[in-house]
């Protein structure tokens, strides 16, 4: 008898009808002889509707109350799924994150899981019940306030539960049937991957892939939880995310996939005096505003002893980063702050590049042949990323996918709402 954790996202739960279909799958899994724990996100549009109501009563709602409000969404969906399960001949109990023992930091809106003590979940399983656990939420260890976990929080809840319960499998269901070599909407011959090691999945998630969220993959890797990415619309086996690149024999290491990201913008601070501390002041100012930066490029200084400092960041943070820097113009003595939000990032990921010289060369040649200009390049042991013009992202993705022969013969199966 295996213990299986399943997670269903909002689009899989967007109506009473979808809820009943999900319940059928859960009951089938139970009847096959397994213990089943299910994590549900809020139904389809619920979170957006709640955010809208909040904004109507307060344009800048207090974070503690936002967490109290949004967590109602998961409460509703998990209770409804439990009811649907009951109508289909099995028994189920739903629990909030707090009741399920998900203990977190007290950072509202972006709490991290500190510990999971799922006593009531285990008790439910022992009594033959299916346990539903509200995703995306927990209780703060110090204040005992309810918290939400930030982006991908329901995936993280599922993986954390799987780790704490020593589950045999953690299945993440959405409307895509696995992790692909690239986005099938851009690359028609993108191929579904059977397996992806943790480190590669981390790089793909950090590079724009929306299939799994970074934090949940980090958690899975730390606790050794294998994740299966599957579609709630079919019985296909999906993709398994597990194992380390260290376990792959050198000769089998591959190039795995191409990710893209249109969510970043580029800031260039021009005419920065080339003395120790100038660049540091720029990065410190941005960091103090709690803004994360991604790619960095600093040119060699010109004959006047000045240089340009360029970096990328999330578009959402663009305007505030610009104003933070503008305020320091006199103090640091640079010429101007330029903002460019027509950039895109394209990344190639694969353990194989560690042992195959020439990958970088092939990568750059493919882009050059496609007429794509590289503005910034940034690499890790298993990833090459470039910043390019956003209107060239699709061409770049296809060119790289082709150059590394990642395509398959089968037409990629794309479901409605594919991508998450």
Q: Which residues bind a copy of itself (CB under 8 A)?
A: 16, 19-20, 23, 50, 53-54, 56-62, 64-66, 68-69, 71-73, 75-76, 78-84, 86-87, 91-94, 99, 120, 144
Contacts of 415 (CB under 8 A, 6+ apart): 175, 176, 177, 231, 233
Q: In the complex, what is the shortest distance from the CB of residue 29 to a copy of itself, in angstroms, rounded to a whole number?
A: 18
Cα–Cα distance for residue pair 239/310, rounded to 1 Å: 37
* Nearest residue (CB) to a copy of itself, 93 versus 404: 93
- Name the minimum Å distance from CB 111 to a copy of itself: 17
Give least dist CB 34 to a copy of itself, A. Answer: 21
Nearer to a copy of itself, 26 or 387 (CB): 26
Cβ atoms 72, 49 nearer than 8 A: no
**C-beta of 276: minimal distance to a copy of itself in Å?**
45
- Between 128 and 371, whose beta carbon lies closer to a copy of itself? 128
Q: Which is nearer to a copy of itself, 76 or 245 (CB)?
A: 76
Residue placing its CB nearer to a copy of itself in the complex, 65 or 394: 65
Nearer CB in complex with a copy of itself: 54/364: 54
> Which among 224, 221, 219, 222 has a CA at the least distance from the CA of 112?
219
Closest CA to 74 of 50, 90, 52, 57: 50
- Token digits of residue 327: 């305020």
Among the listed residues 417, 416, 413, 420, the one whose alpha carbon sits nearest the alpha carbon of residue 184: 413
Judged by beta carbon, residue 76 or residue 364, the one nearer a copy of itself is 76
Q: At what angle do helices 214-223 and 198-206 cross, to 10 degrees?
A: 160
Q: To the nearest whole angstrom, how small is the minimum distance from the Cβ of residue 37 to a copy of itself?
A: 16
d(CA 190, CA 181): 5
Cα–Cα nearest to 363, from 378, 203, 263:
378
Grouping H, G, I as helix, E, B as strand and the rest as coil, residue 420 is coil
- How far is 277 from 175, CA to CA, in rounded Å? 49
Which CB atom, from 146 or from 295, has the smaller least distance to a copy of itself?
Answer: 146
Closest separation in Å from C-beta 74 to a copy of itself: 9
Nearest distance, CB of residue 334 and a copy of itself, angstroms: 38
d(CA 229, CA 418): 13
Closest among 281, 263, 273, 225 to 343, alpha carbons compared: 263
Q: Select 65 or 375, whichever has its Cβ closest to a copy of itself.
A: 65
Structure tokens at 53: 């109501």
Dist CA 295 CA 17 (whole Å):
44
Residues 6+ apart with CB under 8 A from 347: 203, 204, 207, 208, 258, 259, 260, 261, 383, 384, 385, 386
Minimum Å gap between C-beta 96 and a copy of itself is 8
Report how far apart the first and last C-alpha atoms of the chain are (Å, whole number): 31
Which strands, in side-by-side order, build the sheet including 264-273? 293-298, 306-314, 264-273, 336-340
Q: How far is the CB of 38 from a copy of itself (least distance, A)?
A: 13
């Amino acid at each position: 008898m295996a213990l299986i954790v399943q997670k269903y996202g909002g689009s899989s739960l967007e109506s009473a009808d979808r809820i009943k279909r999900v319940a059928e799958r859960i009951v089938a899994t139970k009847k096959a002889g397994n213990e089943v724990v299910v994590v549900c996100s809020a139904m389809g549009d619920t979170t957006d509707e709640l955010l809208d109501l909040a904004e109507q009563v307060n344009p800048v709602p207090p974070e503690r109350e936002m967490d109290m409000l949004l967590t109602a969404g998961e409460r509703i969906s998990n209770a409804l799924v439990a009811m649907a399960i009951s109508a289909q001949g099995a028994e189920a109990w739903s629990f909030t994150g707090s009741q399920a023992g998900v203990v977190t930091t007290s950072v509202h809106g972006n709490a991290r899981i500190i510990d999971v003590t799922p006593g009531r979940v285990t008790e439910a399983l022992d009594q033959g019940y299916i346990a539903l656990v509200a995703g995306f939420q927990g209780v703060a260890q110090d204040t005992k306030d309810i918290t939400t976990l930030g982006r991908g929080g329901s995936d993280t809840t599922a993986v954390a539960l799987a780790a704490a319960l020593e589950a045999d499998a953690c299945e993440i269901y959405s409307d895509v049937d696995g992790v692909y070599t690239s986005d099938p909407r851009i690359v028609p011959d993108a191929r579904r991957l059977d397996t992806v090691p943790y480190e590669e999945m981390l790089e793909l998630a950090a590079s724009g892939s929306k299939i799994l969220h970074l934090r949940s993959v980090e958690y899975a890797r730390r606790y050794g939880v294998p994740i299966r990415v599957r579609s709630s619309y079919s019985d296909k086996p999906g993709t398994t995310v597990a194992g380390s690149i260290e376990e792959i024999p050198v000769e089998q290491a591959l190039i795995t996939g191409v990710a893209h990201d249109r969510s970043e913008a580029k800031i260039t601070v021009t005419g920065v005096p080339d003395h120790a501390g100038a660049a540091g002041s720029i990065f410190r100012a941005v960091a103090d505003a709690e803004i994360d930066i991604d790619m960095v490029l600093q040119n060699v200084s010109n004959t006047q002893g000045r240089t340009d400092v360029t970096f990328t960041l999330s578009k959402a943070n663009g305007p505030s980063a610009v104003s933070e820097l503008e305020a320091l113009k006199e103090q640091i003595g640079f010429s101007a702050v330029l903002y460019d939000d027509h950039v895109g990032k394209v990344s190639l990921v694969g353990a194989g590049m560690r042992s195959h010289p020439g990958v970088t060369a092939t990568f750059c040649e493919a882009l050059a042949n496609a007429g794509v200009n590289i503005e910034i390049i940034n690499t890790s042991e298993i990833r090459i990323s470039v910043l390019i013009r956003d209107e060239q992202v699709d061409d770049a993705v296809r060119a790289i996918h082709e150059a590394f022969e990642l395509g398959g013969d089968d037409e990629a199966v794309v479901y409605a709402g594919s991508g998450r």
